[in-house]
Structure 1
């Protein structure tokens, strides 16, 4: 898979995130520097993540619970 372009996020837990709609892959760089990829993520969940008051809580409660993921750096 090609590199996913990420953008900065205003969050204490998340530094950057990006989404590839062709592969439905969400890539998240946490404030620790660790980068994770989440697979087959629905666009509605990406939108909800962007709008969430707490990005870290949303990732832990929704994204990690629903989607397969892999740590790619860190």
Structure 2
């Protein structure tokens, strides 16, 4: 699925397939998740939200859509090629992203 880069402290890119109603989210740490059954209006809202992380939490995570992890952290070759933003290596930002992702994933697992 093609994703679009987004301006966010937690999210790196977002994609959507209207035929399958699948939302795909890549976090700054390289993890990629797909959410099934997401209406196009929710995707549009996410893309237009001032805070994409807050919108994702409120309208995707807490809505209870089925979530599947499809990729983990980036490979070392990606890090060497500079495909991961350098700011994700800053301690405070990295910790905040990890905690946000951990909270989002642990909440999603309980609904699977």
Answer yes or no: same fold by TM over 0.5: yes
Q: Are 2:27 and 1:30 equivalent residues in the alignment?
A: yes
Render the CA deviation track for 1:19-53: whole Å, top value 9, x for unaligned: 00010000000111110000010011111101111
Query: Which structure: greater strand fraction?
Result: 1
5+ long unaligned stretches in structure 2: 73-112
Shift of 1:9: 0.7
User: Residue 12 of structure 1 corresponds to which residue in structure 2?
Assistant: 9
5+ long unaligned stretches in structure 1: none
Larger Rg: 2
Number of equivalent positions:
71
User: Aligned-residue CA RMSD in angstroms?
Assistant: 0.8
**Larger RCO of the pair (alpha carbons < 8 Å, separation 6+):** 1
SS of structure 2 residue aligned to 1:19: strand
Which piece of structure 1 moves more, 59-68 or 25-34? Answer: 59-68
User: When the two structures are superposed, what TM-score results if normalisation uses the length of structure 2?
Assistant: 0.61
Structure 1 stretches of 4+ with a deviation exceeding 2 A read none
